[in-house]
Amino acid sequence: MINSSDPNQPVQNYEIVNPTLETQVATLLPSVAGYGGNLRSTNTIIPIVDLTSAAEGSTLPESLQFALAFGSQTSFTTTNTTTTVVNNTGFWRVFGNFSGNHDDAAAKICQLRLTDGVSNKILLEFGFASTQADATSNNNTFDFNVFIDSGESLVAESNSSILTLHTTVRQLADKAGTLVDPSGFA
């Protein structure tokens, strides 16, 4: 070991008491969670090997973790109906587009919402107001992440035959936060 200030001086060790750092080490390195020793620092220069991604359960950088893959996607088309898009727990990427035309004075709405079977939380809503009587078309894209807990689901609804939600979902992580790699990644 090489001392950063003088190779002839002894290495000095310092105890670090920091609950935030200790929790992060236990989270990133579950195999040492029960270690029970205090974190220590030293005045010695030590090369760093970043094992963060492997400790988190993935060898992919985060930007690639969200990649689309044929076998990982589930797609839905919702027109004049209600569709349950996701009812499995975990973290999900939800993306797609709304397209529609307005050709009369009736209100038309498409929405993506979370439900627990009793109440609803609208995440996105697209449509045309009843006061908008002229012929109009619209196309909007969306891309967001959502967490689904036990007993909850993500629902897509269109109340018109001329409004369509094209929705695709991909699971990013399970309920415990363990990342799910794209299909086919070895």
* Per-residue model confidence (pLDDT) at position 97: 94
63-100 pLDDT, tens digit per residue, is: 788 888 899 999 999 989 999 999 999 999 999 999 88
Q: What pLDDT, in 10s, does the model give residues 9-29?
A: 677 777 777 777 777 777 777
pLDDT band for 55, please (50, 70, 90 cuts).
Answer: low
For position 52, what pLDDT does the model report?
A: 63
Are 131 and 159 spatial neighbours (Cβ–Cβ below 8 Å)? Answer: no
Look up the pTM and report it: 0.67
Structural domain boundaries in the chain: 13-48, 64-173
Its CATH architecture, for the domain 64-173, is Sandwich (2.60)
Look up residue 89 and give its amino acid: T
The DSSP result for 110-154, as a single string, is EEEEEE-SS-EEEEEEEEE-TT--S-EEEEEEEEEEEEE-TT-EE
CB 118, CB 106: distance < 8 Å: no
